């Protein structure tokens, strides 16, 4: 089983800021779709933050629709993990509905316009911002890390600080892992306990230790993360935590970061492309 993975596109027409070249991300997403189609990836996992949220409604919605168009060309299923910028657009479920087919959300489209068919993967539950699905004998769990410390869902605003996973999701996670199936977890905010300058990395979830306790009771073989733009790789109690380098970093075509994940019976091979490192996980 092979699938593509990338993160933190932050596409927008605004000027560059530091290493983030927002407008270059539109072309990078096109290249990504072409690359994984060439490599016969079965589906894609995007780890959050498709656009750079600026609070300018017309700019942000146009950026979102434009960034989503390459998914039409790929003609393969996409799994979208909610990032903190994604939930700033409004409710989580309305955002999911929008990104499933951006053509339908564009103003001025004729009433009889027939949008292209996009393959999808059935997920459980189908009406939740966190969910799971099964593919080739593997379980995939997608987490929603956009809650405040009290467990209230963060929607319709951009939060750059610490976020959390709510209690109901933790209980669901424990139940979902209880069957012992080999599992890959996808998350935006980070779950590993890595530090920077002696302090917990600012992109680590506020209750990450509690989430790790639940993960360690299951059969988790890999955790894929976004949010921390520089990327990282760490291990905690036998579970590898791979943080994808942000696609938005650097000028195109010299720089961008995507990966192809090849899942085998006794190993997972992560083939990085351009700025994304490669990893081999043996179990």
Which tens digit of pLDDT belongs to each residue from 231-261?
Answer: 999 999 999 999 999 999 999 999 999 999 9
For 90-132, how does the pLDDT look when each residue is reduced to its tens digit (9 = 90+)? 999 999 888 876 555 555 555 665 556 677 899 999 999 999 9
Domain 2-282: state its class: alpha beta
pTM: 0.94
* DSSP tag of 192: S
CA 62: distance to chain centroid?
A: 20
Provide the pLDDT for residue 13. Answer: 94
Cβ atoms within 10 Å, residue 142: 23
CB 281 within 8 A of CB 262: no
Q: Exposed, middle or buried: residue 103 (CB in 10 Å: 0-12, 13-18, 19+)?
A: middle
Q: How many CA atoms lie within 13 A of 247 on its CB side?
A: 29
Provide the pLDDT for residue 103. Answer: 57
Tell whether omega for the bond before 253 is within 30 degrees of 0, i.e. cis.
yes
Q: How many residues does the chain have?
A: 283
Distance between CA atoms of 28 and 50, rounded to whole angstroms? 12
Beta bridge partners of 274: 257
**Residue 194: closest CA among 180, 205, 210:** 205
Distance between CA atoms of 11 and 53, rounded to whole angstroms? 9
Provide the pLDDT for residue 37. Answer: 86
Provide the pLDDT for residue 254. Answer: 96
| Buried/exposed 236-275: b ≥16 CB within 10 Å, e otherwise | beebbbbbbbbbbbbebeebbbbbbbebeeeebbbbbbbb
Q: How confident is the model at residue 66 (pLDDT cuts 50, 70, 90)?
A: confident
Q: How confident is the model at residue 76 (pLDDT cuts 50, 70, 90)?
A: confident
| Domain edges within the chain | 2-282
Residues 6+ apart with CB under 8 A from 268: 184, 221, 222, 261, 262, 280, 281, 283
Tell whether omega for the bond before 125 is within 30 degrees of 0, i.e. cis.
yes
CB 131 within 8 A of CB 142: yes
Mean pLDDT of the chain: 92
How far is it between the farthest Cα atoms of the chain?
A: 59
Q: Strand (E) positions, the chain? A: 2-6, 43-46, 78-80, 131-135, 138-142, 183-187, 195-196, 199-200, 220-225, 232-236, 239-243, 257-263, 267-274, 279-282
3-state secondary structure of 144: coil
């Amino acid at each position: 089983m092979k699938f593509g993975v990338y993160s933190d596109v932050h596409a927008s027409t605004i000027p560059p800021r530091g290493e983030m070249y927002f407008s270059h991300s539109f072309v990078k997403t096109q290249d990504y779709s072409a690359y994984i189609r060439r490599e016969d990836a079965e589906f894609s996992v995007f780890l959050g933050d498709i656009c750079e949220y600026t609070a300018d409604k017309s700019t942000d919605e146009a950026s979102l629709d434009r960034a989503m168009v390459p998914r039409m060309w790929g003609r393969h299923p996409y799994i979208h993990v909610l990032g903190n910028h994604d939930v700033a657009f409004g409710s989580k479920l309305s955002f999911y509905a929008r990104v499933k087919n951006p053509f339908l959300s564009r103003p001025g489209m004729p009433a009889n316009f027939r949008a292209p068919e996009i393959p999808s993967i059935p997920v459980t539950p189908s009406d939740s911002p966190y969910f799971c699905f099964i593919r080739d004998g593997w379980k995939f769990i997608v987490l929603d890390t956009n809650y405040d410390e009290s467990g209230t869902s963060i929607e319709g605003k951009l939060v750059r600080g610490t976020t959390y996973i709510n209690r109901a999701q933790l209980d669901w996670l424990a139940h979902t892992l209880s069957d012992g199936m080999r599992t890959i977890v996808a998350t935006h905010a980070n779950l590993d306990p890595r530090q920077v300058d002696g302090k917990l990395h600012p992109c680590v979830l506020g209750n990450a230790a509690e989430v790790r306790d639940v993960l360690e009771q299951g059969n988790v073989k890999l955790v894929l993360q976004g949010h921390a733009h520089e990327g990282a790789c760490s291990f905690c109690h036998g579970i590898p935590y791979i943080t994808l380098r942000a696609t938005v970093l650097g000028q195109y075509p010299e720089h961008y970061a995507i990966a192809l994940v090849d899942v085998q019976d006794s190993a997972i091979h992560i083939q990085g492309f351009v700025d994304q490192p490669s990893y081999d996980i043996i179990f």
